[in-house]
Amino acid sequence: MRLIHRVADLRAALAGQHHTAFVPTMGNLHSGHISLIELARRTGPPTAGPIVASIFVNPLQFGAGEDFNRYPRTLDADCAQLAAAGCDIVFAPDAAEMYPEPQTFSVQPPLADELCGQFRPGHFQGVATVVLKLFNMVQPRYAAFGKKDYQQLFILKAMVRQLNLPIVMLEGETGRAEDGLALSSRNGYLSAEERAEAPRLYRLLRVAAQQVASGVIDLADIEAGVADELTRHGWRVDYIAPRSRSTLLAPTPEERDLVLLAAAHLGRTRLIDNIECRRQALKVP
Ligand code: PAF
């Protein structure tokens, strides 16, 4: 496995490759990231090209007062995991390589002010801009992203479609700890007490998804019920939102394929999670 820091060296290493598979990350890797490497490897054709992972903590996607400075940087450990998973190239540029001049062009994605965007202004603009730059640097045929960042994945798929990028998007299921907590680099911020409390978020989403599927509850009651329960246990809720899977907007009464999205703070740590569910058909009187 090669570790490359400069765009020119990356381009030289990938010259003539048409089936590169790409896994963009911010590092501090866990088994959820590694499962994306495996997904990329499984998906390539028999003549599969190289697998490239990037590691870059992107300042553009962090707001003032967010965790950019304390975000864990663990390049050596990340490289060891990537090598063991069969990654061919790690691209780890520094900020000057990624942004050699002020980034005055940016991608303005749809839904950028919705859900997480409402609480993290500029976040999805920063994500879409860096991912488009990374796509232009790596020129992958396949790119893998996890469904834990559901809104990010939705926005990036729209970017690929609407900007005609010749990239097949691969979607990895959310990796979870045994108690259900979605794997995230930010879980490392949790105290022991918070870590014990954290699985409540997914537990409540699962119950809510079952209620949606069996049609026993109104969607507004789901939002209020999950939010109240979290608040009672010391969380600060940003949102609990049932959305249409096809638009990520509030579902019309006819829409049945839904996703319940959630973001809430436990102490100083902001956790997100989601669960897909299928609403029972409305009974026509
Ligand atoms: O999901 C992440 O780790 C980041 O948002 C990404 C896609 C690598 C862009 O910085």
pLDDT, one tens digit per residue, over 106-158 is 999 999 999 999 999 999 999 999 999 999 999 999 999 999 999 999 999 99
pLDDT of residue 218: 87
- Residues linked to residue 145 through DSSP beta bridges, in sequence order: 171
Q: Which atom of ligand 1 is nearest to the CA of 57?
A: 10
pLDDT of residue 285: 58
Q: Ligand 1 pocket check: which of 22, 23, 26 to mutate, most ligand atoms within 8 Å of Cβ? A: 26
pLDDT of residue 243: 97
Note the helical H segments in the chain: 7-14, 31-43, 75-85, 95-98, 116-119, 123-138, 150-162, 192-197, 200-214, 219-232
CA 179 – CA 198 distance, rounded (Å): 9
Q: Which atom of ligand 1 is nearest to the CA of 185?
A: 3
Q: What average pLDDT does range 41-62 have in this prediction?
A: 87
Q: How close is the Cα of 56 to the center of ligand 1, in Å?
A: 8
Decide which of 276 and 282 is more confident.
Answer: 276
Q: Domain 2-172 classified CATH 3.20.20.60? A: no
pLDDT of residue 4: 98
Q: How close is the Cα of 175 to the center of ligand 1, in Å?
A: 16
pLDDT of residue 101: 98
Q: What average pLDDT does range 78-97 have in this prediction?
A: 98
pLDDT of residue 27: 98
Our answer to whether residue 265 is catalytic in this structure is no
How confident is residue 216, by pLDDT bands cut at 50, 70 and 90?
confident
Point out the catalytic residue in the list 33, 123, 233, 265: 33
pLDDT of residue 45: 58
Instruction: Give yes or no for residue 284 having a pLDDT over 60.
Output: no
Q: How close is the Cα of 229 to the center of ligand 1, in Å?
A: 30
CATH number of the 185-274 domain? 3.30.1300.10
pLDDT of residue 278: 95
Q: What is the pLDDT of residues 161-172, one digit of tens each?
A: 999 999 999 999
Tell me 249's DSSP state: S
Neighbouring C-beta atoms of residue 42, cutoff 10 Å = 10
pTM for the predicted model, two decimal places:
0.96
Q: How close is the Cα of 223 to the center of ligand 1, in Å?
A: 27
Which amino acid is located at 183 in the chain?
A: L
Q: What is the pLDDT of residues 217-267, one digit of tens each?
A: 788 999 999 999 999 999 999 999 999 999 999 999 889 999 999 999 999
Cβ-defined contacts of 215-222 (< 8 Å, 24+): 215/279, 215/280, 219/251, 222/260
For the chain, what are the domain ranges? Answer: 2-172, 185-274
Cβ(58) – ligand 1 distance below 6 Å: yes
